[in-house]
Amino acid sequence: MGNTIGHLFRVTTFGESHGPAVGCLVDGCPPRIPILAEDIQRALDRRKPGQPLTSARQERDAVRILSGVFENRSLGTPILLVVENTDPRSRDYDSLKDVFRPSHADYTLQMKYGIRDHRGGGRLSGRETVGRVAAGAVAARFLREVYPVQVTAWISAIGDIRMADPAGPVDPDSIYDSPVRCPDAQAAERMVERLDGVSQARDSIGGLVDCRISGVPAGWGEPVFDKLHADLGKAVLSIPGCKGFQIGSGFAAAAMTGSRHNDPFQAAGGRIGTTTNFSGGVQGGISNGEEIRFQVAFKPTPSIRTAQRTVTKEGLPVELEISGRHDPCIAVRAVPVVEAMAWIILADHCLRHRAMAGRLPPAD
Amino acid sequence: MGNTIGHLFRVTTFGESHGPAVGCLVDGCPPRIPILAEDIQRALDRRKPGQPLTSARQERDAVRILSGVFENRSLGTPILLVVENTDPRSRDYDSLKDVFRPSHADYTLQMKYGIRDHRGGGRLSGRETVGRVAAGAVAARFLREVYPVQVTAWISAIGDIRMADPAGPVDPDSIYDSPVRCPDAQAAERMVERLDGVSQARDSIGGLVDCRISGVPAGWGEPVFDKLHADLGKAVLSIPGCKGFQIGSGFAAAAMTGSRHNDPFQAAGGRIGTTTNFSGGVQGGISNGEEIRFQVAFKPTPSIRTAQRTVTKEGLPVELEISGRHDPCIAVRAVPVVEAMAWIILADHCLRHRAMAGRLPPAD
Amino acid sequence: MGNTIGHLFRVTTFGESHGPAVGCLVDGCPPRIPILAEDIQRALDRRKPGQPLTSARQERDAVRILSGVFENRSLGTPILLVVENTDPRSRDYDSLKDVFRPSHADYTLQMKYGIRDHRGGGRLSGRETVGRVAAGAVAARFLREVYPVQVTAWISAIGDIRMADPAGPVDPDSIYDSPVRCPDAQAAERMVERLDGVSQARDSIGGLVDCRISGVPAGWGEPVFDKLHADLGKAVLSIPGCKGFQIGSGFAAAAMTGSRHNDPFQAAGGRIGTTTNFSGGVQGGISNGEEIRFQVAFKPTPSIRTAQRTVTKEGLPVELEISGRHDPCIAVRAVPVVEAMAWIILADHCLRHRAMAGRLPPAD
Amino acid sequence: MGNTIGHLFRVTTFGESHGPAVGCLVDGCPPRIPILAEDIQRALDRRKPGQPLTSARQERDAVRILSGVFENRSLGTPILLVVENTDPRSRDYDSLKDVFRPSHADYTLQMKYGIRDHRGGGRLSGRETVGRVAAGAVAARFLREVYPVQVTAWISAIGDIRMADPAGPVDPDSIYDSPVRCPDAQAAERMVERLDGVSQARDSIGGLVDCRISGVPAGWGEPVFDKLHADLGKAVLSIPGCKGFQIGSGFAAAAMTGSRHNDPFQAAGGRIGTTTNFSGGVQGGISNGEEIRFQVAFKPTPSIRTAQRTVTKEGLPVELEISGRHDPCIAVRAVPVVEAMAWIILADHCLRHRAMAGRLPPAD
């Protein structure tokens, strides 16, 4: 349970890190949308291990479309996307079979299921996000076919190195050209240095991901529980390593007054908008047509190559030194995953809104 | 749509601020749980308007149990809890019929539905939380009947006035004895002063709510999307005015190294635990038996009694001065609502876990 | 659990037969639909006890709309409809507290929940259908506002008295003018006689309900599991006392050849249709634009006034004679309930289809 | 949408008849259940084409387990089962690209989606049931690990040839040893003759499937909408070609009196049971511990090799003669599919019941 997200655009991911395959099943993609393996592959390549500064595991991550697409267009039926695991090096994990790695899910999986695939974190591995990114590519293709939506995420901090808020739109190429997914070249350089230092210290470090969404019309999001930002929040909080989510003003709102925080409405160019955007593009859980803005916090990679104290399944204390291939900063790898989750939630809320907004008596 | 939360312990709230009634329907409460109107009433009294420093609307908020309970015990059938609205003073809102209040949901509701109940925010009013608190009381009663779970939330900041992290457990009475729901008497006093100042300035202010949960056994929470902290995050982000959620180390994790952030395991007293708790009691989305800790940010009340610039439905600019009854800091009112949402999510995950953990082949 | 039906047009019923109230909560009714208490009341009056030949319990069944409607139009928010129980005569049931009535749910409720409201069947009483009929009235109003759909159900058999298949459309008034809900006056007369005989024998009898639906456009229904007829089937099978469901040719199809059973397509008047309708208006689970036809079987009322052998909760044999107010044929009371379930399923599938069929690349 | 069934034991099928693969994803299988490819393969072999008297399409139907299983036991994570299509002979269908086959879903799929995979029925092919049978094998393995449940289905009629009700339990081998899946050797012989005649006439024929379930304890099934027989009904009605479902007395109940139909309770051997079983093992939608009995009607195969009149996509009349490989009686192929659907629904209700029936205050 719990492997599905979305009410109408439904994404289920599957697969263990060192099992035969990972991927996703997308149910609810509308028909006649161009779905090409190349598009999905391009999205997967953005999260692929083997990039500079990230894990050394070499996976081709070649995606296969096994159902739901006919002559390059969606049929309206479930789309199954499968990526076979080809470089698992499972033996690296033999020594971890009965040891609980600190701040991993080894212990909790054991307690929950009484069984676990100890190799590489099993189901709760970063590798699970392959399925998310593949599904995000389908969601993006659908949405962009029918609305001018754009989702852009980037690294805004690694450790104490922060990038200033961008004045205008961020060029996606400037993000993925950077090894740390940071569009500010100067900040990116310092982040690379910081990561080098951390790696040499056999340590890891946390980071922040910023996300901006433009082109969403007013009216998406459902009161009361399925507010647009609540669903976005859940979606990104479910990404491995995520510790926090804030929309618009976020935690800073706690120190602000209402007279400063309220976003005044104005009418300009035939549409009603706001002159500030502390709301982050969402009011009462419903999009207001302004840019949607949120920020996500990621913890440092828990796999570090320094000695740590922990216990075995039997409770015996052991000293653990984790070898193997690990990113020093999972936030960097999470950038395309944050984008994918946003696309999925937006596609779902687009469909939910359409259901209620079709043929009806006239609006007031 | 979107008015239901939970997969097995399912809560639906209903009602408009100035309609005939508000409340909730709880489907999935196990049978034979003592459910008393007094218990639910006590929970409602904690969020009731008319407390010092909060909105002056005088509602008795008397709850009626209309189904699902027989001779003071749950039947396993849907429990309907209804609170009739007795003091709506709807005429206060006549002037707002065609005006969009800044940072309220007036504009987005209009864009979404093409119709709205303009009186007091309609469905997207703080009054909707009556149903949440009533449902939370049912969830709490069920859980406490079968597990020693305790949920405690309090105000940890109003504006720039912050309370230090408590060293040990927090006494619930010390929270609800305080008009600002802050258990630290000295901080509370300064918060009250701050609220007085804000009120006199006809303004409002934001705040933070901290929440701690003890007694949850290891194993609750579902990989992948329905992680325990992701569901908690969604649940509190759906509370009116919430702008951010963080679990354990939260946003501070972004600046930490792995060697500092990892929580070492140790075995003591026959159980495995961690010596630090940056994870916030959840690892891989599954509870690990440690205290669950999260923090929530609330924006300042958008209804302020100073003049604001906005537009009418037709896009004409107007100056708006909101009269009526409003809390200067919605975070204070949100404290029992945060607790209620936590109880609901915990009850749901308890049931989800039970379904999978019944009669089975032996664990490894 | 299990008290909700529908994916987008979601209906939850609540209430015990002798509890404070029964009714429903409808989430997912689109906005701006005229919703009037009178319309719902009219639907309820059709199923109300106290009609000739049906149970003598005298309930006014006055419905109150407690949320989701503003100035007689739906807001797009949850609609709560409550009918208070005013004539329960619960003491009639005191003697049944510890006895399991044959072919009732007394035993299974006890085994499932370990507690039960023994008065009148509790949750599994025919009285639960009040909520279904009220929700059906909302669904009907929405659908008829946007599509020329018509749902008509009637009694086609009581015991061995059968009405011939109608040649053309059936006038709804001719159904509800008949005390046995049978539009064929001659058959109705014989059915009344049959019921009189059964009542005098202190016995009860089964019956069949036929249902026809016109005006559904081609395209509603979801492959694979949520086929339109599968959802209709589940909905009516969930009505108390229902033992069977068949669509189109139904069980007779088992004895037919393909050359006889296949419905040939033809084009006439600018649309494609079929010249026969063994499919019952549904092919592959999707409506084909022809009339939808199904039939439902109901068992005899299990409450009879003759002596029956049964056991107590402790397993002691007892002889039971049920007094109290009971319909001799529940099929008669079920007619408006079958209609209501059809309206609910159609409203749900209408919304599901709209979600997928909005703005899209052109069709082939 | 609509490709998932089950609330806790969730099965999603995927795949088009002539696409790259078919199969299923099972989310909610409890952990530590032995899951072996051989077991699933054995179930698939029972429905495989190429059997005497069924379709001549030669598929090996070799299943691969791509996730959720580690060292032959379930992990509690999603189980992906994939069967690649190896013998599609898609060109047989070129001539059907723009023609609507009578009583197939060609027309309705085109109307619903504006696009379709015309080869072999696409998504709405009998081949979709591969995923159902594979999932059913997982459900069966789980249930049998923890309860002594047994599900047995067989052909009880082909055309007008009917098998008498069996006096005692039916031996599964006697079913699958028969080419027509009928355990009564004499009836089976006549059915084979009937099928031969139908095939020689280039026609097809309908049939009935009976199903018996033993070993289900009292208490499974959820009031109100998710009654056990309502969920069973929906599940089998969703099988391609199904036209009707009846539980226990079924349609015959309509002609019975209550005094005859009621099942008297008795206590024997320490448990309470009924002396007759017109209820079919379910009362009020909840299992009562007796044998569950239902019957399902299937229409004749719509693909016949005689000339039929139909129209093209443009509405032009054409004469159609379907060649290719088709079963003369789909009911025969449906037998293991009916069993699979029953296993899936039972597994789901078992989990639902466990969730509510764990640690609780004592029962009355």
Question: pLDDT by residue (tens digit) across B230-260?
Answer: 999 999 999 999 999 999 999 999 999 999 9
Instruction: Mark yes or no for CB contact C77/B16 under 8 Å.
Output: yes
pLDDT confidence band for D323 (50 / 70 / 90): confident
Question: pLDDT by residue (tens digit) across D167-187?
Answer: 889 999 999 999 999 999 999
Mean pLDDT of chain C: 94
With contact defined as 3+ CB pairs under 8 Å, the chains touching D are: A, B, C
C33: nearest CB among A73, A147, A361: A361
B103: nearest CB among A235, A238, A263: A263
Minimum distance, in Å, between the CA of residue A340 and any CA atom of chain B: 13
**Contacting residues of B for D227, CB less than 8 Å apart:** none
Instruction: Mark yes or no for CB contact D304/C262 under 8 Å.
Output: yes
**Contacting residues of A for C363, CB less than 8 Å apart:** 32
Instruction: Mark yes or no for CB contact D238/C256 under 8 Å.
Output: no
How far from A69 is each of A72, A73, D108, D286, CA to CA, in Å? 6, 5, 18, 41
Minimum distance, in Å, between the CA of residue A5 and any CA atom of chain B: 6
Q: What is the mean pLDDT of residues B123-151?
A: 96
**Contacting residues of B for C114, CB less than 8 Å apart:** 31-32
pLDDT confidence band for D50 (50 / 70 / 90): very low
Instruction: Mark yes or no for CB contact D70/A115 under 8 Å.
Output: yes
**In terms of CA atoms, which chain B residue is nearest residue A255?**
B159
Instruction: Mark yes or no for CB contact D355/B355 under 8 Å.
Output: yes
> What does the pLDDT read at residue C227?
98
Distance CA A283, CA B240 (A): 9
Distance CA C120, CA C90 (A): 8
A250: nearest CB among B244, B252, B265: B244
Task: Quote the strand ranges of D135-269, DSSP E.
Answer: 150-158, 161-162, 207-214, 242-247, 265-268
Mutate to test the interface with B, among D4, D7, D8 (most CBs of B within 10 A): D8
**Contacting residues of D for A108, CB less than 8 Å apart:** none
A75: nearest CB among D27, D80, D116: D116
D75: nearest CB among A20, A69, A115: A115
Beta strand pairing call for C282-283 and D161-162: unpaired
**Contacting residues of B for C35, CB less than 8 Å apart:** none
> What does the pLDDT read at residue D345?
98
Distance CA B172, CA B153 (A): 8
Count of pairs with CB atoms under 8 A, one residue in C, one in D: 403
**Contacting residues of C for D284, CB less than 8 Å apart:** 104-105, 108-109, 124, 240
Question: pLDDT by residue (tens digit) across C147-184?
Answer: 999 999 999 999 999 999 998 899 999 999 999 999 99
How far from C100 is each of B81, B203, C91, C110, D216, CA to CA, in Å? 30, 64, 17, 9, 20
Question: pLDDT by residue (tens digit) across C197-223?
Answer: 999 999 999 999 999 999 999 999 999
Distance CA B4, CA C237 (A): 25
A25: nearest CB among D25, D65, D112: D25
C283: nearest CB among D107, D265, D283: D107
Question: pLDDT by residue (tens digit) across D71-124?
Answer: 999 999 999 999 999 866 767 777 788 999 999 999 999 999 999 999 888 999
Question: pLDDT by residue (tens digit) across C115-156?
Answer: 999 988 899 999 999 999 999 999 999 999 999 999 999 999
**SS3 assignment, position C313:** coil
Quote the percentage of chain D above a pLDDT of 90.
Answer: 85
**C160, C67 in Cβ contact below 8 A?**
no
Question: pLDDT by residue (tens digit) across A6-15?
Answer: 999 999 999 9
> What does the pLDDT read at residue C52?
52
Task: Give the pair of three-digit tokens for residue B302.
Answer: 């958008």
D4: nearest CB among A27, A74, A79: A27
**Contacting residues of C for A354, CB less than 8 Å apart:** 354-355, 358-359
Minimum distance, in Å, between the CA of residue B172 and any CA atom of chain A: 23
Closest CA to B135 of B284, B341, B352: B341
Minimum distance, in Å, between the CA of residue C226 and any CA atom of chain A: 13
Task: Give the pair of three-digit tokens for residue D173.
Answer: 């081998």
Instruction: Mark yes or no for CB contact D27/A4 under 8 Å.
Output: yes
pLDDT confidence band for A50 (50 / 70 / 90): very low
With contact defined as 3+ CB pairs under 8 Å, the chains touching A are: B, C, D
Instruction: Mark yes or no for CB contact D65/A21 under 8 Å.
Output: no
Show me where the domains of chain B are located. Answer: 4-356
Closest CA to D229 of A152, A190, C235: C235
Instruction: Mark yes or no for CB contact D288/C264 under 8 Å.
Output: no
ipTM of the complex: 0.97
Question: pLDDT by residue (tens digit) across B69-79?
Answer: 999 999 999 99
**In terms of CA atoms, which chain B residue is nearest residue C10?**
B1
Q: Which of B167-181, C302-316, D14-28, D37-51 has the lowest mean pLDDT?
A: D37-51
**Contacting residues of C for B69, CB less than 8 Å apart:** 19
> What does the pLDDT read at residue D80?
98
Calculated CA dihedral for residues B283, B288, B292, B296, nearest 10 degrees: 20
**In terms of CA atoms, which chain C residue is nearest residue D242?**
C250
Looking at residue D158, its amino acid is I
Distance CA A98, CA A46 (A): 34
B14: nearest CB among C16, C64, C67: C67
Instruction: Mark yes or no for CB contact A284/B308 under 8 Å.
Output: no
Instruction: Mark yes or no for CB contact C31/A360 under 8 Å.
Output: yes
**In terms of CA atoms, which chain D residue is nearest residue B364?**
D32
With contact defined as 3+ CB pairs under 8 Å, the chains touching C are: A, B, D
Minimum distance, in Å, between the CA of residue A117 and any CA atom of chain D: 6
Question: pLDDT by residue (tens digit) across B259-317?
Answer: 999 999 999 888 999 999 999 999 999 999 999 999 999 999 999 999 999 999 999 99
Q: How many CB atoms lie within 10 A of CB C315?
A: 14
Determine whether D130 is exposed, middle or buried from the number of CB atoms within 10 Å of its CB (0-12, 13-18, 19+).
Answer: buried
Say which CATH architecture domain B4-356 belongs to: 4-Layer Sandwich (3.60)
**Contacting residues of C for B31, CB less than 8 Å apart:** 113-115
Encode chain A in three state secondary structure: CCCEECCCCEEEEEECCCCCEEEEEEECCCCCCECCHHHHHHHHHHHCCCCCCCCCCCCCCCEEEEECEECCEECCCCEEEEEECCCCCHHHHHHHCCECCCCCCHHHHHHHHCCCCCHHHHHHCHHHHHHHHHHHHHHHHHHHHHCCCEEEEEEEEECCEECCCCCCCCCHHHHHCCCCCCCCHHHHHHHHHHHHHHHHCCCCECEEEEEEEECCCCCCCCCCCCCHHHHHHHHHHCCCCEEEEEECCHHHHHHCEHHHHCCCEEEECCEEEECCCCCCCEECCEECCCCEEEEEEECCCCCCCCCEEEEECCCCEEEECCCCCCCCCHHHHHHHHHHHHHHHHHHHHHHHHHHHCCCCCCCC
Count of pairs with CB atoms under 8 A, one residue in B, one in D: 69
Distance CA B103, CA A284 (A): 8
Minimum distance, in Å, between the CA of residue B349 and any CA atom of chain D: 10
Q: Which pTM was predicted?
A: 0.97
In sequence order, which residues have a C-beta less than 8 Å from that of residue A286 and are 6 or more positions away? Answer: A218, A219, A220, A221, A222, A223, A227, A228, B105, B108, B109, B111, B112
Instruction: Mark yes or no for CB contact A361/C28 under 8 Å.
Output: no
Element (H, E) at D47: helix D37-47
Mutate to test the interface with D, among A1, A86, A106, A109 (most CBs of D within 10 A): A1
**Contacting residues of C for D117, CB less than 8 Å apart:** none
**Contacting residues of D for C284, CB less than 8 Å apart:** 104-105, 108-109, 124, 240
**In terms of CA atoms, which chain A residue is nearest residue B115?**
A364
